[in-house]
Amino acid sequence: MPIFIRRVSRFVRVRLQGWRLPLAVALAVFLTSWLAMTLVEPAGSVIVSPGTYWWYFLVTAATVGYGDVFPGSTGGRLVGAYVIVGGIVTLTLLFTRLSDALQSLRGRRLRGVVPLELSDHLVLLGYWPGRTERMLAELTAEKHVQVALCAWDDVVENPVPELPTVHFVRGDLSHDDVMSRACVPSARTVVIDGRDDNETLAVAVAVHHANPDVHLVAAVRDLERAENLTYVHEGIQVVQWHMPFLLTDEATDPGIAQIYSDLMRSGGHGNTYSVAVPPGFPHPTFGECQTWFGRSFQATVLALRGPQGLAVSPAWDAPVPEGATLYYVADRRIPPRELTQRV
């Protein structure tokens, strides 16, 4: 007998793993209880008919017990108790297996091996401790934005599990498998924050192959590599690696990197200049200055430095006293004398 029990136990462990065990228990209890019920119930009892017993077994095993069908004999009630115990065991096994499955799925999601189901989202390729967290905080400031964070294999778990709108994928960032699991073909924007410029170029090729029309932003150490990246994707926006804020700005507001670039380099569409407000300047508010600079010089005033310090894009009615400094964008530097000559 002990040998028989050991063999049955080994068979159950090996063959009835996972979802098979609760199903096997439910089937065994159903068949044995039905057989026992037919033996102990009086002849002609409705409960043992096939069309009725399955319903009795279901509601009794689930401990619902509607009471529309019940055994009439003492033996039948004992069989009912057996069904209740078998149902509790089956439900316990089912819930345990379900809990294990959910935990396993959650663990796989944390490890970044589960394919995502996203569209019109943002993909961030590359993870740098601290830097990436700050970028994600800006990218997810608008709660509806979904982000697929893709990291290398050495990042073993999702580094930001507390952010519900950030989903994690792990692997070779230039591999088709990562492109697929991160749903790059259906992404709205892809930001590449690679470990070096060569890797950024390789990842850009993979992204372009997966989604040629995506809004692509890449961080580079050497801006001379921008030309190489444009060979891959004509519309790519290249940002210097040490300016992560510009990466997030470009990702959320396409085209803003070009504006920054034109503002910061000479020979662009305009440069940034400053001028002190001369005596007798007849435009006492920032709004009047903005309007007059635009009409007279096709210039845009960005900021004002006055007695209260620097104010970028101040209020329209902010006072502009004599001696204050105006910062503006224009095609050329405006001499102070022209400020009064055109009044």
How high does pLDDT run on average in the chain? 83
* pLDDT at 1 exceeding the cut of 50: no
Nearest-angstrom CA–CA distance, 156 and 55: 49
Average pLDDT over residues 28-53: 84
Region of 137 (left: φ > 0; alpha: ψ -120 to 50; beta: rest) is alpha
End-to-end CA distance of the chain, in Å?
111
Diameter over CA atoms, the chain: 117
User: How much of the chain is in helix, strand and coil states, percent to nearest 5?
Assistant: 50, 15, 35
Q: What is the pLDDT of residues 80-134, one digit of tens each?
A: 888 888 888 888 877 777 776 666 656 666 677 788 999 999 999 999 999 999 9
**Do residues 111 and 151 touch, judged by C-beta distance below 8 A?**
no
Structure tokens at 168: 């994690």
Q: What amino acid is encoded at 19 in this protein?
A: W
Domains of the chain: 2-108 (1.10.287.70), 122-264 (3.40.50.720), 271-341 (3.30.70.1450)
Nearest-angstrom CA–CA distance, 6 and 11: 9
CA distances for 179 relative to 176, 195, 252, angstroms: 5, 18, 21
Structure tokens at 8: 């049955």
Print burial letters for 147-185: b (CB count within 10 Å at least 16), e (below 16): bbbbbbeebeebbbeebebbbbbbbebbeeebbebbbbe
- Helix (H) or strand (E) segment spanning residue 84: helix 74-110
Structure tokens at 155: 């990042």
Q: What is the pLDDT of residues 178-222, one digit of tens each?
A: 999 999 999 999 999 999 999 999 999 999 999 999 999 999 998
Q: pLDDT value at position 108?
A: 65
**Could you tell me the pTM of the whole model?**
0.59
Q: What is the pLDDT of residues 257-271, one digit of tens each?
A: 766 666 655 444 567
Print burial letters for 280-293: b (CB count within 10 Å at least 16), e (below 16): ebebeebbebbebb
